[in-house]
Amino acid sequence: MEHTNIGKHISEKFDEELEGVRNAVLSMGGMVEQQLTDALKAIQTTDVELAEKILRKDSQVNDLELEIDSACTRIIAKRQPTASDLRLIVATLKTIADLERIGDEVKRLARVAQETFNSEQQHLLVNLENLGQLVVNMLRQALNAFARMDAEAALEVHRTDSSIDRQYEALLRQLMTYMMEDPRSIPKIMDVVFSARSLERIGDRCQNIAEYIIFNVHGKDVRHTSADSMEATIKNKR
């Protein structure tokens, strides 16, 4: 908690506003995480109704993004924040953009859950389960790191992405083998391929969120730098 920028302003109202935005981001994150968990469940159980529910709920995620977005702009205009407060707001604006896009990927997953698969194709969906679990964990950890503004936890999240990429590559090779063995199933297998890719993209977006957290905590933009240099930033508190 010592890393948060909250609780040091003369204006209590300003503190409340920042805390309000932070809570809204966590609500939005929690909603997206639940949507992702539900989408994976809907795929595994080919639960069309659950998929429908997910698709309907996406507009709530979008609404939250717009709300937080304008709350941030209002705070900038009214409070004219500088230094760490401004960094927090910029990091928030970027985080919600990524959360919203994660919501879009979840929608793609939900649409796949609405497709019909025969019993032979059904087992293909099982292949998504491991990758899906890794990605749900990554998202959860990214949100936890955001909640505590914990740069070290964010660095951990950032590192996770390479194992997700490896798992995705392996799954892709496996799915291509299925396609070669059973060409008639290609359209269905392509749905699974795109679902895997959506999961991989969600991992990329969690990595983005991790970078914004590190930027917010250390005031140094670590995007496009190596993991080593990112670690140096955090350890040396440069």
Residues that bind its own copies (CB under 8 A): 59, 62-63, 65-66, 69-70, 73, 76-77, 80-83, 86-87, 90, 93-94, 97, 172, 176, 179-181, 183-184, 186-187, 190, 193-194, 197, 221, 223-224
Which of residues 62 and 162 has its CB atom nearest to its own copies in the complex? 62
In angstroms, what is the C-alpha Rg of the chain?
A: 20
Provide the minimum distance between the beta carbon of 233 and its own copies in the complex, in angstroms, as a whole number.
14
Which of residues 137 and 174 has its CB atom nearest to its own copies in the complex? 174
Distances (CA, A) of 171 to 70, 111, 120, 193: 40, 20, 17, 8
Task: Encode burial over 74-88: b for 16+ CB neighbours within 10 A, e otherwise.
Answer: ebeeebebeebbbbb
Provide the minimum distance between the beta carbon of 47 and its own copies in the complex, in angstroms, as a whole number.
26
Beta carbons within 8 Å of 142's beta carbon, 6+ residues apart: 29, 154, 157, 206, 209, 210, 213
Which of residues 12 and 181 has its CB atom nearest to its own copies in the complex? 181
Which of residues 126 and 186 has its CB atom nearest to its own copies in the complex? 186
Identity of the residue numbered 72: C
How far, in Å, CA of 189 to CA of 185, rounded?
Answer: 6
How far, in Å, CA of 218 to CA of 220, rounded?
Answer: 5
Which of residues 60 and 133 has its CB atom nearest to its own copies in the complex? 60
Provide the minimum distance between the beta carbon of 41 and its own copies in the complex, in angstroms, as a whole number.
25
Provide the minimum distance between the beta carbon of 126 and its own copies in the complex, in angstroms, as a whole number.
21
